[in-house]
Amino acid sequence: MEHQLKQRSQRSDVAFVLGNGKSRLNVDPRSFQERGVVYGCNALYREFAPDYLVAVDVKMVNEIIASGYHRTHQVWTNSNKGVSSKANINFFSPHKGWSSGPTALWFASTHTYQTIYILGFDYQGAGGKFNNVYADTFNYKKSTDSPTFHGNWLSQTEKVIKEFRQIKFVRVIEDGAFVPDQLGYQHPNLKHINYHEFKLNYPEVIYNN
């Protein structure tokens, strides 16, 4: 299928891009569906169907295909000979060669929203360990494993922020969370807010704490 904007995305000037860092557990992602367009990554499909699901790891893509999720929902990935089926799968062409989270952020940005909220992009590990909602599940590392290198995620995210200067990016983080130097004040179209501040804008969202 061609890279095209789903009609449903016209309902809002706001998008939510959900990574799978543990900070995302502060909110119920289903709360966003009537408030904007939702982009998610990888195993998010196991519990919630975003408007667009992005997965670039072949093992993850094949898990999604085996589940049948792709038959009724939009799944986007990179062209790869290891993908078990091309039916009902959308391929980026050309693809970025990036990780799933930054790819989802870039994809959302091409749809020209006024504001994009970024949640679950924690970058660093949690307590020096692997930081992911789906740790200890199929196709994921163990929660006791060392953190995944995040330098590529950071550089890819920064490239999106720089490319789409007309979009207001808002990264939602926990109090005292890691704010990388690469994503600092040099980017006037990016700001970081905590969940308390986010709740002031979206009090009707379901919060888990």
pLDDT in tens, 61-108: 999 999 999 999 999 999 999 999 999 999 999 999 999 999 999 999
Asked if pLDDT for residue 8 goes beyond 50, the answer is no
| pLDDT attached to residue 36 | 95
pLDDT greater at residue 184 or residue 206:
184
pLDDT greater at residue 4 or residue 135:
135
- The whole-angstrom separation of Cα 168 and Cα 163 is 12
DSSP state of 149: P
pLDDT tens, 145-160?
999 999 999 999 999 9
| Cβ-Cβ contacts under 8 Å for 90 (sequence gap 6 or more) | 1, 3, 74, 75, 76, 77
pLDDT tens, 28-70?
999 999 899 999 999 999 999 999 999 999 999 999 999 999 9
- The whole-angstrom separation of Cα 90 and Cα 93 is 9
DSSP state of 27: B
- Decide if 37 contacts 15 (C-beta within 8 A): yes
Q: What number is the average pLDDT over the span 160-189? A: 96
| pLDDT attached to residue 208 | 86
- Decide if 37 contacts 113 (C-beta within 8 A): yes
Of the candidates 60, 39, 36, 23, the one whose C-alpha atom is nearest the C-alpha of residue 141 is 60
| pLDDT attached to residue 209 | 66
| pLDDT attached to residue 168 | 98
Q: Which two tokens stand for residue 156?
A: 């890819």
Q: Which two tokens stand for residue 79?
A: 């062209």
